[in-house]
Amino acid sequence: GRKCQIAGMQNALLRTLAALALVALASCGRPQAVDTEGADPRVVQARGTLAESEQATIAIFQSASPSVVLVISGDPSGFSGEVGAGTGFVWDAAGHVVTNNHVVQGAQTVIRLPGGEDIPAEVIGRAPQYDVAVLRLQRAVGSPALPLGTSNDLQVGQAVFAIGNPFGFDRTITSGIVSALGRQLPTQEGREIADVIQTDAAINPGNSGGPLLDSAGRVIGVTTAIFSPSGAYAGVGFAVPIDTVARVVPQLIENGRAPIAGIGIEIGRAHV
């Protein structure tokens, strides 16, 4: 009789354990309520003042970006399937925009302002030997001309900033340094641009024709090409020096062309 009593107790214990196991399995995977009564809420820590370098970069972007535009060349309607996009910037109050020559290869060109408005533009001058072109908007846009610096006193290691539309992502700023000076850069015409600025600021397709700025917010170059086996950013970008651009642009505005100043051929770099 005692053996039966022990066996019954064991069976009851087994049934109890099985029931507990089923409860545990049923609750597995379901969020469990956490008793937070009495817990203190998390406090957001004050950020404090931005670093001086951060404030300087923000100021450069806020000042320059309203004068940087998206250049759409080709068939803006999209029917032909041939549309290119690059960057340009306001040169003067007369509605002139500077960009790269290789950006404006299409029959039609439209300037898209930072606010999204599209304005037809006419290409009034090209200098393929410098990869520079000038467009004239149908009307003034009110955006100020970017201040010009000089490229003859640049130093390797100084900070630079590029603003453009890489891959169509408008008004993008990247930063870096002057990586080298005095580079020779071939153009699509088979000639070389002298004294080109090399930078590690990220430059990608769509950045072409955008301003390269110094830490004072002055234009010291026009981004034009990258060196990359893949065609995307690889840390080596190039900009036409502003001293060259500032000499060529007035001639393009007045005459539509600029004199050729040298011939050279080199292969192996890709325009953006």
The string over 91-102, giving b where at least 16 C-beta atoms fall within 10 Å of a residue's C-beta and e elsewhere, is bbeebbbbbbbb
179 is a catalytic site residue: no
Q: Tell me which DSSP letter residue 8 carries.
A: H
Residue 172, burial from CB neighbour count under 10 angstroms (0-12, 13-18, 19+): buried
DSSP 175-200: EEEEEEEEEEEE-TTS-EEEEEEEE-
**Annotated catalytic residue within 131, 170, 200, 243:** 131
Of 151, 208, 214, 243, the active-site residue reads 208
- Residue 257 main-chain phi, psi, to 5 deg: -155, 170
Greatest Cα pair distance in the chain: 120
- Distance, in Å, from the CA atom of 236 to the CA atom of 174, rounded to the nearest integer, reads 13
* 131 tagged catalytic: yes
For residue 106, what are its two tokens?
Answer: 């299409």
Q: Which of 96, 102, 179, 228 is catalytic?
A: 102
Whether residue 258 contacts residue 245, with contact meaning beta carbons closer than 8 Å, is answered with no
271 in active site: no
d(CA 34, CA 32): 6
192-199 vs 219-226, strand pairing mode = unpaired
Contact 235, 145 (CB under 8 A): no
- Which residues form the catalytic set? 102, 131, 208
